Structure 1
Amino acid sequence: MAIIAFSEERFPLRIAFGTSGGPERRTDIVRLSTGFEKRNQRFARSVRRYDAGSGLKSLADLAAVLEFFEAMRGRMTGFRFRDPLDHASARLGLPVSPLDQAIGTGDGEGREFALIKAYGSGEGAYMRSIEKPVGGSVRVAVGGVETAAGVVVDPSKGVVIFDAPPAEGATITAGFEFDVPVRFDTDQLAINIAAFEAGDIPTIPLIEVRP
């Protein structure tokens, strides 16, 4: 089997539900002699870190993690991970709608539009690129009207492709579920068989990557 940089396989869902973690940013802060601060954001986008090792698990779950870890060659290969709290274009608890996120405006020429999710509103909103939508979950609307004919979604890149360019001025929106591209952030699993038919892996660190 050839070793690849990224696999479209997903980390086992039943284990992901016990995950802790979330977005991380790097901000440099310098306090000036005047008392004011200068703040500089090192990275344009946040990086998500997770730990899927919390909680006692069945031996079947431990075996699933072990098999997946070996298949991904430890830190070598990236894979899909479902964030238990943030995995859809809609607000938590609401169903996905084709009007959830504005992803572009037609100019009569462009046919490809990248999926994004906005955090906040107005000019200060953070626009997150969604590169790993869940296949079959993407719903698209043009000018507020849902359309499926003549639309293809590349689930490995998060790009919506129209057969014909949307009309100039038409707002393109989309709703979707998505995974986070991650890799293991360790090359060793410390598995502990804590009790009969149960055990734990104290830490399973994962870090977001650019696929």
Structure 2
Amino acid sequence: MAFYDDLVFPESISVARLGGSLRRLTELGVTQAGFEQRAIVWEDTLRQWEAGLVPRLASEWEQVCGLFEVVDARAHGFRLLDPSDYRVLAGQGVLSAVNAEGELVGVPGGGYGMPALQAVKRYSYGARSYYRRLPKLVSGTVVGTRNGVPLVVGASPGQVAVDVNTGRITFVADDTRAVVAVTVGATTQVQLAVALVGAVIGDRVYLAGLGGAGALLVNGLSHEITNIVGPTYTLDVDTAGTTITPSGTGALYPQADDVLAFTAHFHVAVRFDTDELSWSSAAGGDEIIVEPGSTPLRELRLELAA
């Protein structure tokens, strides 16, 4: 199945009449003593909608029919603006580090010493929060901040690239240095050509491009600094018994004490949940009025791997 990022469900239809629901999946069991046992199967909500339930002009309904044809009904996905929830306001948007599998790591709203961060919306009730990943941002609406200072798109240290089709904001490293020596062990010592500017014990160093059989343990990951002697960093990663050859780089990206936030508008990734569109039509003066049947849409859970 393909996903068409350039296609958005007609907003004149969705804004006029779009009913929806939130869905979770929880398995319930009852013991012989009458106590309930509950298991969360889906940790993230899936949404579904019913669109086009009020009479529309034929010219508007033609847009829905055109979209239905080009996405081959249920076969391919597209974007939807949900008028009930399409904005990330100040205090709701946080950036969270993601690993190679697309899983959130660290604390939402703080760095983890990694370049790529995912746009996440925080929903709160009382003192508790739920974090929803937003893979489909609206171009031109994203405003990010680091410690209250607006992020700048560019290629200089500390600047960012924004991918509205994945919801990822990727930082240029604050500082990058070549790796000149590696000592493996229960903790790993990495010597850089020059010390990283601003690095302190407790920060995390991101390693890339190292060689050898043990490189998979360190490349593409950030590692906590437990000691610093000049340009040599002791990292909390066990590489004992492996071989790592010095090459590549060590870099500093946003750390846990950075406050990373954003505001934006966003779309939802959806597909038609039917292979059939139905309607009736009647003359309405100079226009044909179409009375659509049910047009169900279902949210798609997208792979977020880096």
Q: Which amino acid aligns with 1:130?
A: L
Secondary structure of the residue that 2:262 maps to in structure 1? strand
Structure 1: distance between partners of 2:166 and 2:143: 16
How far residue 124 of structure 1 moved from its aligned partner, in angstroms, is: 4.3
Counterpart of 1:209, as a letter, is: L
Q: Which residue, out of 114, 118, 121, partners 1:114? A: 118
1:160 maps to 2:165: no
| Match of residue 14 from structure 1 | 12
Alpha carbons 1:183, 1:207 under 8 Å: kept? yes
- Corresponding residue for residue 181 of structure 1: 269
Aligned pair partner of 1:101 in 93, 113, 128: 93
Between 132-141 and 116-125, report the one with greater CA deviation.
Answer: 116-125
Is the Cα–Cα contact under 8 Å of residues 74 and 274 in structure 2 kept in the other structure? yes
Q: 1:118 aligns to what SS in structure 2?
A: strand
How far 1:176 sits from its partner (Å)? 1.1
User: Within the alignment, does 1:139 sit opposite 2:112 as a pair?
Assistant: no
Deviant stretches of 4+, over 6 Å: none
Q: Which amino acid aligns with 1:102?
A: V
- Residues 139 and 148, structure 1, Cα contact 8 Å, conserved in 2: no
Instruction: Please give the alpha-carbon distance, in whole angstroms, between the structure 1 residues aligned to 2:93 and 2:14.
Output: 26
- What RMSD over aligned residues (CA atoms) do the two structures have, in Å? 1.9
Share of identical aligned residues, percent? 30
Computing the radius of gyration from Cα coordinates, the structure with the larger value is 2
Work out which of the residue numbers 185, 192, 211 in structure 1 matches 2:280: 192
TM-score (norm 1): 0.87
In the alignment, the residues of structure 1 paired with residue 31 and residue 141 of structure 2 have an alpha-carbon distance, to the nearest angstrom, of 49
Unaligned runs of 5+ in 1: 91-96
Is the contact between residue 138 and residue 267 of structure 2 (CA under 8 Å) also seen in structure 1? yes
Q: Deviations over 1:51-91 (max 9, x none)?
A: 1121111111111111111111111110000011001112x
Instruction: Name the aligned partner's letter for residue 41 of structure 2.
Output: R
1:34-183 equivalences in 2 (<5 Å):
34-90=33-89, 97=90, 99-103=91-95, 104-107=109-112, 109-120=113-124, 124-149=128-153, 150-164=159-173, 165-166=253-254, 169-183=257-271
Q: CA deviation at 1:170?
A: 1.0
